[in-house]
Amino acid sequence: MKRIKILFGQRRFQVLATLTGVIMAVAVVVGSGASFTAQSANADNVFSTGTLAMENTPDGMSATITNMVPGDWRDASVKIQNTGDVQGHFFLEPVYVTENTQKIADYLDLVIKDGDAVVYKGKLSELPQEDLGVWKADEAHNYTFKVSFPDAGREASVKGAGGVGIDNQYMGATTTVDFNWTAVSVSQDAR
């Protein structure tokens, strides 16, 4: 009986060893099997960024308005164009008053029009940032700036002859104002 146990015990070891060898052989065959591969190329793909640029005509729109009296108005115009090759969101930034004697910029009226559409109407010194919308490449707009010196009227004189202008405080006043145009590029997909 001892002999049968020894043989049966050894036999089990041999069966397990053989089975393990077969499993390992199958794993090696499966793991090292050949596979097919393929490639396809799309050559000459080019990606580039666009440009956003603007031009104003006349260059800088420098308007010099002199010798205004109460009731006068003057205007100037400028053409702003998107000269880039991408669309942009355009803005007219607030004015920068660099000289303002007697605070005349707070008194003068300003009307800005894009064609017939009013973009801004108010005091010269209070222009907020104006959203001018999204412009396509090569799109242009003509803006007219009209500055008015309001006439506040007259006060009766002491002697009753004529009157004294209420706006006398602004006599000889000057102001220098900068208007800034800005643009931010907009994705072609954002329409």
Can you give the residue ranges of every domain in the chain? 54-152+164-185
Q: Average model confidence (pLDDT) for the chain? A: 78
Q: Between 39 and 183, whose confidence is greater?
A: 183
> Quick one: pLDDT at residue 27?
56
User: Looking at the predicted structure, is the pLDDT value of residue 138 above 80?
Assistant: yes
Radius of gyration, alpha carbons of the chain: 42
The residue whose two tokens read 């004697």 is: 101
For residues 53 and 76, give the distance between their C-alpha atoms in angstroms, rounded to a whole number.
Answer: 23
Looking at the chain, the whole-number percentage of residues with pLDDT higher than 90 is 28
Please state the pTM of the whole predicted model.
Answer: 0.69
Q: Are 139 and 68 in contact (CB under 8 A)?
A: no
Q: Are 120 and 112 in contact (CB under 8 A)?
A: yes
> Quick one: pLDDT at residue 133?
94
Q: Are 97 and 105 in contact (CB under 8 A)?
A: yes
Taking only the tens place, the pLDDT of each residue in 114-133 is: 999 999 999 998 999 999 99
CB atoms within 10 A of CB 164: 11
Closest CA to 186 of 142, 133, 147: 133
User: Looking at the predicted structure, is the pLDDT value of residue 64 above 60?
Assistant: yes
Taking only the tens place, the pLDDT of each residue in 79-116 is: 999 998 999 999 998 888 888 888 888 999 999 999 99
Taking only the tens place, the pLDDT of each residue in 147-165 is: 999 988 776 665 555 566 7
For residues 110 and 174, give the distance between their C-alpha atoms in angstroms, rounded to a whole number.
Answer: 15
CATH class of 54-152+164-185: mainly beta
Q: Can you say how many angstroms the Cα of residue 33 is from the centroid of all Cα atoms in its chain?
A: 57
Name the pLDDT band for 28 (thresholds 50, 70, 90): low
User: Looking at the predicted structure, is the pLDDT value of residue 24 above 70?
Assistant: no
CB atoms within 10 A of CB 87: 21
